[in-house]
Amino acid sequence: MDELITMTAAELSAAVAAGDVSAAEVTGAHLERIAAVDERVRAFLHVAAEDALAQAREVDRKRAAGEPLGLLAGVPVAVKDLFTTVGAPATCGSKILEGWYPPYESTITGRLRDAGAVLIGKTNMDEFAMGSSTENSGYGPSHNPWDLARVPGGSSGGSAAAVAAYEAPLALGTDTGGSIRQPASVCGIVGTKPTYGGSSRYGVVAFASSLDTPGPFGRNVLDTALLHEAMSGHDPLDSTSIDAPVPPVVAAARHGDVSGMRIGIVTDLSGAGYQPGVMSRFTEAVELLESLGAKVTELSCPHFRYALPAYYLIAPSECSSNLARFDGMRFGLRAGSGSAEEVMAQTRAAGFGTEVKRRIMLGTHALSSGYYDAYYGKAQQVRTLIIADFEAAFGQVDVLVSPVTPTTAFRLGERADDPMAMYLADLCTIPANLAGNAAISVPCGLADEDGMPVGLQVMAPPLADDRLYRVAAAVEAAFTARLGHPLLTESKGLDA
Amino acid sequence: MTVTYEEALQEYEPVFGLETHVELGTTTKMFCGCLTAFGAEPNTHVCPICLGLPGSLPAVNRLSIEYAIKIGLALNCSIAAWCRFARKNYFYPDMPKNFQISQYDEPLCTEGYLDVLVGGETVRIGIERVHLEEDTGKSLHVGGATGRIQGAEYSLVDYNRAGIPLVEIVTKPVPGTGFLAPEVAKAYVTELRDVLRTLGVSDVRMEEGSMRCDVNTSISPRGSGVWGTRTETKNVNSLRSVERAVRSEVARQAEVLGTGSRIRQETRHFHEDTGVTTSGRSKEEAQDYRYFPEPDLVPVAPSGSWVEEIRSSLPELPSARRGRLIEAWSLSELEFEALRNAGALDAVEATVAAGASPADARKWWLGELARRANDAGIDVSALPITPAQVARVAELVAAGTLNDRLARQVIEGVLDDEGTPDEVVAARGLAVVSDDSALTAAVDEAIAANPEVAAKIRDGKVAAAGALVGAVMKATRNKADATRVRELILERLS
């Protein structure tokens, strides 16, 4: 492999800033990697080769002119295909948006451009972020670089696969019920769901507004923190964005120190249905943290067992309304003919996939008159109880830990016809979305049964995102020291 | 229609309620920075947010909240310390997101009232709620007979209006106004319009659609206390139409019940040209809007101090002004209503401020000036004469320099752009002739020319003097002081 594609984002931006390598060379190397492997991984829906090189040359020009360079100067970033970026399509993995070029830039990608990042392409995803495998994409699934017969997780599976396959050192995703953490876990990389409101949703096509959280992917903890910091901060265009300083995540990532830290194991997120290899890696990680000086206790969050059903009322309810605008009137697909009503109906019938239709119907029913109180209203009450569980837990410990997802990456097609089995992939990640907390997935080894990566989930209170990185950096350092190399280099799916 | 309103009232008692939508006069839209200006080229005041493009998000215009609070306070409402926006979900091409951001069970303002004056009586109209929402785009249905979407060949949508802040003001049902119901409804909308105009929160132009009324009407058999099924009449877009809509709907409902049928709960459309309503969408297969709290917006929590700040900045409201002027000018409520209905309140008040007596100011604005405005087909306030100029005319009359007839000529001159009242008097030579020597000759001529009349006066029939006064006035081309002329005639013939 070209050395440029195995360098970390931190190394790349330093090298570009120092003039050791040009941003154009860095981008070129990644474009070559994409050309070499993406036919097999299918992480990208759109590769912006010309545009990416132009962005890179602009970074090089700035450097030559002595202008200040940003935090991510010359670092390629892959972007989940639901961020709007000027000059590239945004399909959200859906046929209904095929060919739509957004006329405006999302706040986050705008910030990344300002930080010198090179937006290299748009990545595959489950349609409108609904799914845990990318199999719900209207453009075919992505593949897990560790084992191409397996899914890369989802919904941000394309972004996770791109980073794990060295097609980009960093990627953007969104996490509504686990859509960053679960693919990060099953692809053996790092992924963070920031505090809700910590990263702007402006220009991020909505699935479920009260849950959607844009966040970073990286191959290591520090890179992930760099992207986290560059993309975050208050945005007046997003009313739910928090007007507070960005937590010091980069500083935390540089100081992986857990001595004296109080860590709580959520006992409710374990047991039957969890793959043994996942549980043993999780247990080892906890022992490791204890050996590094953390005070580990077990505690229960009794309402977490209701998180999944509550989520499957709230998220579909919001999506049924958010996705109403896809009607063939102003943009995207237009199908059929006749009255406006007929065109709307035929466009939606033709443009949306099965899972999206299922959730729109679930949500439409849950919000309908006579059912609202029993479904949506009740789910919101459950949400309040889950927030209370978190608050009680964070009264006792600094962070909570659990597995990220009950199993390692499953095989393509294995759960495609069983929505309930698919939904269980998000069992451990959903509580943090319902409460708006910060949470991270950091690799903690390979499962014995299948040799596939396993992730450790760390959860922190809102706006305490830096705690995630302290714990994750400690885990990463200890595992790398034990293995003698980063875990990801054990992946043999592509370069064997 | 065979049953008239008057016949309907013999058996039934009307109950009505109004939902009024008012476009707020903010410079920019409710959730984005696009301009709200009326009359621009279609789809030029649009952006990703008001077009509802994927990924866009709303952010509330603070001024729209302030305006809604102003309205709530002026309508004696409670202002919620915490409330939320809600999504009203339904599919229609002029709704960019296929949901409207509105308020549902948590409105910003609740439980108020507005007092209106009808026929010298005060009627208190209860206000149920005042809430904020965004306007939709505007559809133009081309082809087809009705201009409605049914039967149209194609439709065009202009999204310039989409996202303009709207306030919806909902009254409680108003029973018990009897025969006056249509007038009370109209008086309410008139008073509401005056309040909103005084607050400066909207240009309240019904003809441009910046104020639109839906009228809910039902009838109740006299003495039963049981209200019938109500209908909602849309498209009621002038003050006169409000009155006509109530009137025609009451008559129609009485007719329907008279034939043994029942009233359907439905939306009806008011036709400006014929003054009748026709059936629209039935509300019996109730549309389910699937309201839920808008997750893209944080709750609105106006602080008590902000509300008080807004309250203390409210201008004098029409009702307070009414009380003040009725007392200061010694008017009856009917006289006040006449003044307000003529649209002359501001002008009269300014004329009084410029020095005229209230009686003189009212006389000129309700008389000569109202007549001329009417002839010209414009509002009296739009006449090209200032209150100060009217005050000056009144002053010249009071001083005896002008009589009423000359004063009208001076006003005509001012309206014809001949200058100030003094300039018109000078240029047209309009001052009253009150010099006895100049008048004596004219009086003598009139006596000589009318010997029979003179004889009657000599015989003590003083009333006959009018004919001689008229002759003198004619001879002096109305410049004479008529009172003095009469005195001179009587002196001569005594």
Closest by Cβ to A97, choosing from B54, B98, B291: B54
3-state secondary structure B317-373: CHHHHHHHHHHHCCCCHHHHHHHHHCCCHHHHHHHHHCCCCHHHHHHHHHCHHHHHH
Query: What is the number of H-type helices and E-type strands within chain A?
Result: 17, 11
Predicted local confidence at residue B230, as pLDDT: 92
- Distance between CA B405 and CA B397 in Å, rounded? 10
B367 φ/ψ angles, rounded to the nearest 5 degrees: -95, -100
* Contact at CB, A367 and B295, closer than 8 angstroms: no
Which one from A106, A132, A137, A155 is the annotated catalytic residue? A155
CATH fold of B436-492 reads Arc Repressor Mutant, subunit A (1.10.10)
**Which amino acid, residue A370?**
G
Token readout for A3 is 């050395």
When pLDDT is cut at 50, 70 and 90, the band that residue A238 belongs to is: very high
Catalytic site includes residue A155: yes
Closest CA to A209 of A325, A351, A327: A325
Mean per-residue pLDDT of chain A: 96
Token readout for B279 is 């059936």
Relative to beta strand A76-80, strand A118-123 is parallel
Of A202 and B121, the one with more pLDDT: A202
Mutate to test the interface with A, among B56, B95, B140, B300 (most CBs of A within 10 A): B56
Predicted local confidence at residue A287, as pLDDT: 97
Token readout for A67 is 């202008």
Number of domain units in chain A:
1
C-alpha dist (Å) from residue A266 to A176, A230, A386:
21, 31, 13
pLDDT at B177 over 70: yes
Mean pLDDT lowest among A198-207, B172-181, B454-463:
B454-463
- Give this prediction's pTM: 0.89
Tell me the average pLDDT across A417-438: 93
Q: With contact defined as beta carbons under 8 Å apart, do A219 and A168 qualify?
A: no
Contacts of B297 in chain A (CB under 8 A): 239-240
Contacts of B51 in chain A (CB under 8 A): 330
* Contact at CB, A340 and B149, closer than 8 angstroms: yes
Q: How many CB pairs under 8 A join A and B?
A: 105
pLDDT at A61 over 90: yes
B48 touches chain A (CB under 8 A): yes
By the 10 Å C-beta count (0-12 exposed, 13-18 middle, 19+ buried), B261 is classed as exposed
A240 touches chain B (CB under 8 A): yes
When pLDDT is cut at 50, 70 and 90, the band that residue B482 belongs to is: confident
Nearest-neighbour CA in chain B from A314: distance (Å): 11
Of B159 and B154, the one with more pLDDT: B159
Closest CA to A211 of A429, A455, A367: A429
A217 touches chain B (CB under 8 A): no
Residue A287, in any domain of the structure: no
User: Which chain A residue has its CA at the smallest distance from B99's CA?
Assistant: A321
* Contact at CB, B54 and A100, closer than 8 angstroms: yes
B29 touches chain A (CB under 8 A): no
- For chain B, what percent of residues have pLDDT higher than 70? 98
Mean per-residue pLDDT of chain B: 90
Mutate to test the interface with A, among B290, B294, B296, B300 (most CBs of A within 10 A): B290
Residue A378, in any domain of the structure: no
A367 touches chain B (CB under 8 A): yes
* Residue B80 DSSP code: P
B89 touches chain A (CB under 8 A): yes
Q: With contact defined as beta carbons under 8 Å apart, do B301 and B81 qualify?
A: yes
pLDDT at B494 over 90: no
A188 touches chain B (CB under 8 A): no
Closest by Cβ to A84, choosing from B55, B93, B295: B55
Tell me the average pLDDT across B381-388: 92
Mean pLDDT lowest among A178-182, A308-312, B50-54, B261-265:
B261-265
- Distance between CA B303 and CA B60 in Å, rounded? 16
Residues 30-89 of A with CB under 8 A from B: 82-84
Q: Where are the domains of chain B?
A: 5-310, 342-428, 436-492
Mutate to test the interface with B, among A97, A334, A367 (most CBs of B within 10 A): A367
By the 10 Å C-beta count (0-12 exposed, 13-18 middle, 19+ buried), B144 is classed as middle
With vertex at residue A34, the alpha carbon angle to CA A32 and CA A38, rounded to the nearest 5 degrees, is: 140
Q: With contact defined as beta carbons under 8 Å apart, do B241 and B274 qualify?
A: no
Q: With contact defined as beta carbons under 8 Å apart, do A344 and A304 qualify?
A: no
B60 touches chain A (CB under 8 A): yes
Residue A162, in any domain of the structure: yes
- Distance between CA A386 and CA A392 in Å, rounded? 10
When pLDDT is cut at 50, 70 and 90, the band that residue A352 belongs to is: very high
Predicted local confidence at residue B490, as pLDDT: 85
Closest CA to B65 of B38, B92, B84: B84
Residue A383, in any domain of the structure: no
* Residue B449 DSSP code: H
Residue A354, in any domain of the structure: no
Helices B62-74, B304-312: axis angle to 10 degrees equals 60
**Residue with the two structure tokens 């876990």:** A185
- Distance between CA A226 and CA A462 in Å, rounded? 19
Closest by Cβ to A205, choosing from B54, B87, B296: B54
Q: Which helix (H) or strand (E) holds A173?
A: strand A170-175
**Where does residue A387 fall: left (phi above 0), alpha (psi -120 to 50 degrees), or beta otherwise?**
alpha
Closest by Cβ to B292, choosing from A82, A106, A317: A317
Nearest-neighbour CA in chain B from A191: distance (Å): 22
B59 touches chain A (CB under 8 A): yes
* Contact at CB, B97 and A324, closer than 8 angstroms: yes
* Strands, E assignment, A195-258: 213-218
- Distance between CA A364 and CA A376 in Å, rounded? 10
* Residue A129 DSSP code: G
User: Which chain A residue has its CA at the smallest distance from B87's CA?
Assistant: A321
Mean pLDDT lowest among A120-124, A231-235, B453-457:
B453-457
By the 10 Å C-beta count (0-12 exposed, 13-18 middle, 19+ buried), A417 is classed as exposed
Mean pLDDT lowest among A356-370, B34-48, B60-74, B419-433:
B419-433
C-alpha dist (Å) from residue A484 to A487, A488, A489:
9, 12, 10
CATH code of A482's domain: 3.90.1300.10
Domain that holds residue A188: 3-259+431-490
Predicted local confidence at residue B299, as pLDDT: 96
Closest by Cβ to A239, choosing from B48, B57, B157: B57
- Distance between CA A1 and CA A3 in Å, rounded? 6
Tell me the average pLDDT across A4-18: 97
B93 touches chain A (CB under 8 A): yes
By the 10 Å C-beta count (0-12 exposed, 13-18 middle, 19+ buried), A383 is classed as buried
* Contact at CB, A102 and B54, closer than 8 angstroms: yes
B296 touches chain A (CB under 8 A): yes
Predicted local confidence at residue B283, as pLDDT: 61
- Distance between CA A436 and CA A432 in Å, rounded? 6
Predicted local confidence at residue B387, as pLDDT: 95
Predicted local confidence at residue A495, as pLDDT: 73
pLDDT at A259 over 90: yes
pLDDT at A496 over 70: no
pLDDT at B168 over 90: yes
- Distance between CA B215 and CA B230 in Å, rounded? 10
Catalytic site includes residue A95: no
User: Which chain B residue has its CA at the smallest distance from A128's CA?
Assistant: B54
pLDDT at B224 over 60: yes
Residue A155, in any domain of the structure: yes
When pLDDT is cut at 50, 70 and 90, the band that residue A118 belongs to is: very high
Q: Would the CA dihedral through A26, A28, A29, A30 be positive or negative?
A: positive
ipTM confidence score: 0.96
Tell me the average pLDDT across A198-223: 98
Residues 300-339 of A with CB under 8 A from B: 317-318, 320-321, 324-327, 329-331, 339
C-alpha dist (Å) from residue B287 to A239, A323, B263, B270, B346:
30, 19, 19, 21, 45
Relative to beta strand A262-266, strand B231-236 is unpaired
Contacts of A49 (CB under 8 A, 6+ apart): A31
Predicted local confidence at residue B284, as pLDDT: 56
CB half-sphere exposure, B68, CA atoms < 13 A: 32
* Contact at CB, A209 and B296, closer than 8 angstroms: yes
Predicted local confidence at residue B285, as pLDDT: 62
pLDDT at B434 over 70: no
**Residue with the two structure tokens 């809102």:** A462
Which one from A132, A142, A179, A317 is the annotated catalytic residue? A179
- Distance between CA B49 and CA B41 in Å, rounded? 19
* Contact at CB, B290 and A318, closer than 8 angstroms: no
Nearest-neighbour CA in chain A from B57: distance (Å): 6
Token readout for A275 is 């793959």
Contacts of A86 (CB under 8 A, 6+ apart): A102, A103, A104, A105
pLDDT in tens, A268-315: 999 888 999 999 999 999 999 999 999 999 999 999 999 999 999 999
